[in-house]
Amino acid sequence: MDYIILDIEFNGRKFASELPMEVIEIGAVRLNDALEAVDEFSALIKPVYFSKLNSFIKKKTGIPQEDIDRAEGFVPVIRSFLAWLGRSEACRFVTWGGEDFKRIVLDTRMHKLDDAYWMSAVYYDLLKVYLRSHGLTNDVSVEAALEELGIASEGSAHRALDDARMTAEIFRKTFAKLDPEKDAKQYKDTFSNAKERRTVKNAIRLAQSQKFAMNWELLTEHVLAGKIDLSDPRKAAELKAYFEAETAKPPRPPKPKSADRQGETREAGAKADAEAPGANTVETDVGEQSAEDAD
């Protein structure tokens, strides 16, 4: 069994344009079953929609615009990548987070290519394995994980091949914590984004803190109406399932109040009681946070 450590870079304007994000670089390292690096793949991709790299991506990756201008398009590059992958009799992918696989699937579909290989491929989200094994709840970068593990960072962060090499180092260190079956994942289409799911989660937390019995009908009527379009039944079903799963979790314990704010808290509580909070309070108070598409 080979392990393909995969990393991509992509370009576009997430949450600021209806045009799709596009893969602009693929980097991969092939490890054998002894976790030894035996091969590598690296290629830039010329995007279709945002032919000019936006300033953030250019600064983040350091990819020169002229290199992108000379690069091949997605179709020939992904075919070359699939041919390279075919050198392994069997393989599982390793990514840092779930965004890499998602972007390859979406670009494959955008170019009207068969997505069967990617939908059936198995991958490990090493970020989730790392967080679990270290008892962490907030995401960390590859660089932060390397530092925590005492591994020297080499190469350029946010270049696909260098990031794949660094992720391979983390994979070796974390391999013993991996559950080969339970941690195995396959790409699944999602119809809601992280911002929408966070809106649902925030509403649940607020309702729990106010000891308000929230259900899906109240949520859609008083919180989601006008904020999230539920006309697609697939999105509605997905968010309802997410709501039910989050509601089933035990409420988070309240944060301890500092002594100098207890009076302020009591005053705010008295005001809230006087206003008889209900579903409308949930609607008014729930805040939305901008987030990436992957939770």
pLDDT digits (tens, 9 = 90+) for 48-69: 988 888 888 888 899 999 999 9
Q: How far apart are CA 270 and CA 260, in angstroms?
A: 17
Q: How far apart are CA 219 and CA 228, in angstroms?
A: 11
Alpha-carbon Rg for the chain in angstroms? 22
Tokens at 124, concatenated: 């490990």
Neighbours of 43 (CB within 10 A): 20
CATH topology of domain 2-185: Nucleotidyltransferase; domain 5 (3.30.420)
Q: Where are the domains of the chain?
A: 2-185, 194-285
pLDDT of 266 over the 80 cut: no
Nearest to 43 by CA among 68, 25, 62, 65: 25
**Total-model pTM:** 0.75
Instruction: Quick: pLDDT tens for 199-215.
Output: 999 999 999 999 999 99
Q: How far apart are CA 216 and CA 231, in angstroms?
A: 15
Q: What is the mean pLDDT of the chain?
A: 86
